[in-house]
Amino acid sequence: MDINNAKSRVEELTKLLNYHNNLYYNQDNPEIGDYEYDKLLRELEDLEKQFPTLLKKDSPTQKVGGSAGEKFSEVTHTVQMMSLHDSFSHGELLDFDRKVREVVQNPLYVVEPKFDGLSVSCEYENGVFVRGSTRGDGFVGEDITDNLITIKSLPKRLKNAPEYLEVRGEVYMSDDNFLKLLKIQEDNEEKPFKNPRNAAAGSLRQKNSKITAQRNLDIFVFNIQQIRGVTLTSHKQSLDYLTELGFPTAPFYNRYDNMEDVIEEIERINNIRGTFGFPIDGAVVKVDDFSQRELLGATAKFPKWAEAYKYPPEEKETKLLDIEINVGRTGALTPVGIFEPVFISGTTVSRAVLHNEDFIKEKDIRIGDTVIIRKAGEIIPEVVSLKSHGENTVPYVFPTVCPSCGSKVTRDGEEAAIRCTNTECPAQLLRHLIHFVSRDAMDIEGLGPAVLEQLVNSSLVKSPVDLYKLTPMDVLGLERKAEKSALNLIDSIEKSKEQELYRLIFALGIRHIGQKAAKLLCDNLLTIENIMNSKVEDYTNIDGFGTVMAESIVEYFSHEESINLIKELKECGVKMPPVEKKSEEGKFTGLTFVLTGTLPTLKRSEASKMIENAGGKTSSSVSKKTSYVVAGEEAGSKLTKAQNLGVTIITEEQLLNMLES
């Protein structure tokens, strides 16, 4: 490659990497896999090495992580939180070993799993947890103390603690908790997180620590950044010490005196990585001895005494035996591949999503073919590609009728999904009923999927209204229903008539209206009549309500069936109680504040808390709906925007006066 070609490729890669960095670090919503990303970064690194004049100071190869956002106040790290250099092959590990041995003699290496989550620092004064922060760009991170407090596995008080201690750890979401969260997001029709690492990052960087608490995050602590009062000389010793203090540390960290054993250990971890229950994306090799580390030093971005080894996503070949079509609540037909069972990333897999018709067509995947599957984000199995066609296989033809009810299916313009158009489709009805009675919706106990299926199959229930017409005799007629449980069931159906209005709105299963949106609707519009009869603008005026949601709700209530459903539910005694405007109004109820710049005395988190305690809301962006912008020193674009929009701008002092008056 000549320098001109190299230059344009460097520019291209820089743009691309910055684009993916933003999606990954600031929006917790990556478009490509980490392994793919790492490869792009490596390509840039190699070009910069080959053509040193092309290396720019702000190249993605020179920077760590994201930037501290505006949501939290800043924490300056006394000890820089560095990144790690990556290896992708055994040869590169041998290079690392060689470079280490050029500087120090007889190094011992510790090998540990590389947890895939979010890097944090936690500080303890006399054994008390006082502050926690994100890595940010390595120098300045975000204060997330309140959110870290919600993590049960992080000790808040240490016994026999040193005077001062700063540890570094990785906050992660366990496989189990990730799968639970996906289920909840699916029920609420929220956009699901792509993998456990994004779920952990998105959960930890929440303004409201109550949300963080619900996400059940965990932590592994893997390093001592600073310590006063105790002297340690090696990594292994410090991990043992951290374990003794009560920190969750890696379940194994072994020490070796040669690279061959290190590589063997790395491969051992790779082979069993799916069985851990927590996500990892590699292994880390570290020089054990602290005085040797000092001799080795660091670059601007990473220490020279450690090396990460990144595992490629595990892929396996298997035979596609069949394609099943599932019909969802909104009628979407989803193809699911059935395979000869294979063991991959720790579990045996025999089903995987095939996404949609286009996917199957593009890859020309046919029943009887050999395909390659992997676990996306190491958890959910998916088909990556076709390996080879089987003998006499024929292209797969997507059904033109619903496999459940036989009605015609349609595909709307751009949409990839194919839907069953029959509003009374039993498969859709069943999914719909399961949602209607679920815990976050009408919460009808004892009405599980199996019972609902029988009710649907016996035509006793054709819509949610029919649930309220069931008699004990109807229920007793079902398989395996004892008298007592039949009565209990009727009783809990009866009780659900009193449920709060937002539960009913959520239960209706309107597209894009999750539980949170349902609550917003009720808190702002108060009655079912208002909710049914408002215009798009009325909905979009609600803070937190977007156009897509507004249009979806208008669409829903434009159908006669929807109006009849509400009417009939009412006739059956479902109360739909109007929401009462909260009587204990705070001084700031109904007001929205935006904080910007550095305030003279208060941290932003403190100011937000004061506003919220007085019933006000805080938002991170200025709009016409903003009541006040509280501006401190070095306020930037938000201040300009407020001035342009004519939003009232106040100082911290004025804010405090308003609170006191």
Ligand X SMILES: NC(=O)c1ccc[n+]([C@@H]2O[C@H](COP(=O)([O-])OP(=O)(O)OC[C@H]3O[C@@H](n4cnc5c(N)ncnc54)[C@H](O)[C@@H]3O)[C@@H](O)[C@H]2O)c1
- Contact between 402 and Zn ion by CB under 5 A: the answer reads yes
Q: What is the largest CA-CA distance in the chain?
A: 84
Q: Is the dihedral of CA 381, 382, 387, 389 positive or negative?
A: positive
The listed partner (Zn ion, ligand X, none) that binds 115, CB under 5 to 8 Å by sort, is ligand X
Q: Is 84 annotated as a binding residue?
A: yes
Asked if residue 68 binds ligand X (CB under 6 A), the reply is no
Return d(Cα 145, Cα 129) in angstroms, integer.
9
C-alpha distances in Å from residue 558, one per residue of 11, 20, 169, 398, 522: 51, 40, 52, 31, 19
**Pair of tokens at residue 73:** 């106040």
Residue 445 in the binding site for ligand X (CB under 6 A): no
Among positions 203, 404, 534, 605, the unique one binding Zn ion when judged by CB under 5 A: 404
The closest residue (CB) to ligand X is 119
Catalytic residue among 63, 114, 375, 519: 114
* 114 in catalytic set: yes
Give the contact letters, 183-222, x = binds to ligand X (CB under 6 A), - = no.
---------------------------------------x
Contact between 425 and Zn ion by CB under 5 A: the answer reads: yes
Q: Rounded to whole angstroms, how far apart are CA atoms 36 and 219? A: 26
CA dihedral of 345, 307, 13, 170, whole degrees rounded to 10: 60
In the list 28, 30, 217, 422, the residue contacting ligand X (rule: CB under 6 A) is 30
Residue span binding Zn ion (CB under 5 A) among the ranges 20-28, 52-60, 127-135, 401-409: 401-409
* Number of residues forming the site for ligand X (CB under 6 A): 25
Beta strands 254-256 and 315-327: pairing type?
A: unpaired
> Does 298 participate in binding Zn ion (rule CB under 5 A)?
no
- The radius of gyration of the chain from alpha carbons, rounded to an integer in Å, stands at 29
d(CA 70, CA 634): 13
Residue 420 as a binder of Zn ion (CB under 5 A): the answer is yes
User: How is 397-459 classified by DSSP, letter by letter?
Assistant: ---SB-TTT--BEE--TT---EEE--TT-HHHHHHHHHHHHSTTTT--TT--HHHHHHHHHTT
- 60 contacts ligand X (rule: CB under 6 A): no
Task: State the binding partner of 247 from ligand X, Zn ion, none, CB within 5 to 8 A by kind.
Answer: none
C-alpha distances (whole Å) from 540 to each of 561, 594, 647 are 24, 19, 19
- For ligand X, the binding residue among 13, 37, 262, 433 (CB under 6 A) is 37
Interface with ligand X, residue 16, by CB under 6 A: no
Q: Is 332 in the site for Zn ion (CB under 5 A)?
A: no
Least Å from the CB of residue 219 to ligand X: 11
Which of 19-27, 337-345, 593-601, 617-625 is the region at the interface with ligand X (rule: CB under 6 A)? Answer: 19-27
Distance CA 304, CA 500 (A): 59
d(CA 87, CA 127): 37
- Give the contact letters, 126-165, x = binds to ligand X (CB under 6 A), - = no: ---------x------------------------------
- Residue 308 touches ligand X, criterion: CB under 6 A: yes
Per the CB < 8 A criterion, the answer to whether 498 and 443 are in contact is: no
Binding partner of 65, given Zn ion, ligand X, none, CB within 5-8 angstroms per partner class: ligand X
Q: What angle do CA 141, 144, 146 make, to 5 degrees?
A: 165
247 binds ligand X (CB under 6 A): no
Site string for ligand X, 572-611 (x = CB under 6 A): ----------------------------------------
DSSP 8-state code for residue 297: -
Q: What pairs with residue 306 in β-bridges?
A: 286
Identify the CA nearest to 545 among candidates 584, 581, 519, 566. 519
Task: Name the residue nearer to ligand X (CB basis): 142 or 281.
Answer: 281
Single out the residue of 522, 518, 590 nearest to residue 549, CA to CA.
518
Establish if 114 lies at the interface with ligand X (CB under 6 A).
Answer: yes
CA distance 502 to 508: 10
What CA–CA distance (Å, rounded) separates 285 from 264? 12
By CB under 5 A, name the binding residues for Zn ion.
Answer: 402, 404-405, 407, 420, 422, 425
Catalytic residues: 114
Footprint of ligand X (CB under 6 A): 20-21, 23-24, 30, 32-34, 37-38, 64-65, 83-84, 86, 112, 114-115, 119, 135, 170, 222, 281, 284, 308
Residue list, annotated binding site:
34-38, 83-84, 112, 135, 170, 286, 310, 402, 405, 420, 425
